[in-house]
Structure 1
Amino acid sequence: MTTNPSLWLRPGINTSPWPYMKFLRAVGIRNELRTLMDINATASNRKVVGSLSADRRTATFKLSLDSPLPVNEWALLFGDMVHNLRSALDSLAWELAHMDGAAPDARVRKQIYFPLCTTQAVWEAKLAGPLATVPEQFRAGLYELQPLRHPDPRDAVVLALHEFDIVDKHKSCVYASTMTHNLGAMIIDLKDSAGNKINFDPRLLSLAGPGPFEDGQPLFSVSTERPIAFASSPMNVPVQLL
């Protein structure tokens, strides 16, 4: 980030506040989504329940839900957040192209949007065309955000943002997944028929990995040498939106 004040964009002072307003709207929607997810986690009756194999030497833990997650409602907010972020970038490019009274060629005005260049040649073509009027001091900032600056352009955040925005126009792009990929987060209580705690080798703990956040979804299982009479887990299973 530049520390030169002459290279700063000041919403409402040297540029329109609209791009920053779109960004702030996205932040607000993100906070709303996070709050709704937290309320759901607090109010719902999510549990992890254990079941035993026939030989009682393997306990399988599954997710238990009293009601489905409101994923479609969350997806609406997520899509709105993504759209506002993408719009913020496009409106930023528009403002930069019109700074200080600049008048882009009428033939390229409809092509003025935030570029997503995966090669240097495409970037240079944008500078020679729709972004030709962007002040020189702001071109470096746009360039640093281009996918071509990423080790693998296909994994660039701005490209993923664009693709999410496109997908959201046609269908939900959000799915709820379980997050049980961390051994350190496992809380397991195993007891034998006498009520004694059963210790187990962590290497015998098998994680199901990400899966649909739905009732009955397997989370993990553990095997022991001693027969298991009681298996429980008070752990909380966080939701991951994909």
Structure 2
Amino acid sequence: MNVTSQRSIYPGKDFSAWPFHKAARAYELVCQLRDEYNSYRASLGRESVSESDPTQRIFSVRARLRHEPDSIRWSLLFGDAIHNYRASLDAFAWEMAHLEGATLADELEHRLYFPLARTQAHWAAMVKSTLSSMPSFVRDRLEINQPFRYGEPDLAAGVVLHRLDLTDKHRASLAMMIEMASRSTFALRVESFENSDSFSMAGIASEELWRQEPVRDGALLWRFRSELPLRSLVIDKLPMYLSVSDGDENLRAFDLLDLIDRQVVGILLSTCFGVPSSNWTSYILGDQPRPEMVVEDLSGSTACG
């Protein structure tokens, strides 16, 4: 494998920019989903209500969700984003297999999709068949991003993306729900009957009461016990997050989408340019926010070294 090739290929110039447009569309849908989720959280106002037992100095905190989330719409947005990411990779594989007028036999074209090899042997078999028309430098760059190069191939973002895509297309919707983050940090607003200068949070003990399940209005979340008599105890914003279930496990939706976006963008840019520009590299590694991607600019050199 030769990964030292300095050759660059440009979408919109050397091949169709359609794979990049599909990735850009996927990210638009992710942003739309994030905006709608944030708007929903903002519309709730204070997200908890407390019940007190002054004699025992106990406060019970329950979820206060004034209206239900639009989980069906969120599932549709999530599924559409997943489909576009997967389509981006498959369209990219097609373009790479037909680069510079290369062709594949009909039976191989029907089996052409973005490679996700869980073993070295699987990769070697694809190189001899569906990937055989790709230039060697393209195959070498694609090999670096194959699942078998991860410690746990089934957890590679590309494999998870493929599984979610198939689930949404062939089985059922990817269920979206709001869950609580266990043992998380949150802002607790307390008013004491005592002088505030002498009040100490060290005198408050907490107990988590919720189970790992979707948060519902009125769900009992915590019980707080105080050594001092308290006037009120309020949690304005609960430590909640949006999760997605494929029927087997629940995953944090935005963490997963961010991971998939970084990997898809990383595959596209590293295959085209070898080494993406420093700002894109920092994003792909998870160190920096996502730069703006203008697909038309990639026909120049804005995304390469």
Same fold (TM over 0.5): yes
Match of 1:235, SS state, is coil
* RMSD between superposed Cα atoms in Å: 2.7
Q: Alpha carbons of 1:94 and 1:184: their partners in 2 closer, same or farther (altered >3 Å)?
A: same
Tell me if the contact between 1:86 and 1:161 (Cα under 8 Å) persists in the aligned partners: yes
Match of 2:114, SS state, is coil
Q: Which residue of 1 aligns with 2:80?
A: 80
2:32 partner amino acid: E
Q: How does 1:156-167 map to 2 (within 5 A)?
A: 156-167=156-167
| Deviation per residue, 1:199-226 (Å, 9 max, x gap) | 4448833344754132123333322334
Match of 2:105, SS state, is coil
Gaps in structure 2 of 5+ consecutive residues: 245-305
1:219 partner amino acid: L
Match of 1:107, SS state, is helix
Distance 1:89 1:100 in 2: 19
Distance 1:163 1:101 in 2: 32
TM-superposed CA distance for 1:58, in Å, is 3.1
Distance 2:203 2:162 in 1: 42
Distance 1:96 1:134 in 2: 6
Tell me if the contact between 1:52 and 1:58 (Cα under 8 Å) persists in the aligned partners: yes
Q: Alpha carbons of 1:73 and 1:183: their partners in 2 closer, same or farther (altered >3 Å)?
A: closer
Tell me if the contact between 2:45 and 2:236 (Cα under 8 Å) persists in the aligned partners: no
Distance 1:198 1:58 in 2: 16
Q: Which residue of 1 aligns with 2:292?
A: none
| Deviation per residue, 1:49-77 (Å, 9 max, x gap) | 11235853432222101110011101101
Does 1:71 find its partner at 2:71? yes
Sequence identity, in percent?
27
Q: Which residue of 1 aligns with 2:234?
A: 232
TM-superposed CA distance for 1:15, in Å, is 1.1
2:21 partner amino acid: M
Q: How does 1:33-182 map to 2 (within 5 A)?
A: 33-52=33-52, 56-169=56-169, 170-181=171-182
Distance 1:46 1:210 in 2: 22
Q: Alpha carbons of 1:154 and 1:111: their partners in 2 closer, same or farther (altered >3 Å)?
A: same
Tell me if the contact between 1:117 and 1:146 (Cα under 8 Å) persists in the aligned partners: yes
Q: TM-score, normalised by structure 2?
A: 0.70
Distance 1:165 1:100 in 2: 30
Aligned residue pairs: how many?
A: 239
Q: Alpha carbons of 1:214 and 1:114: their partners in 2 closer, same or farther (altered >3 Å)?
A: same
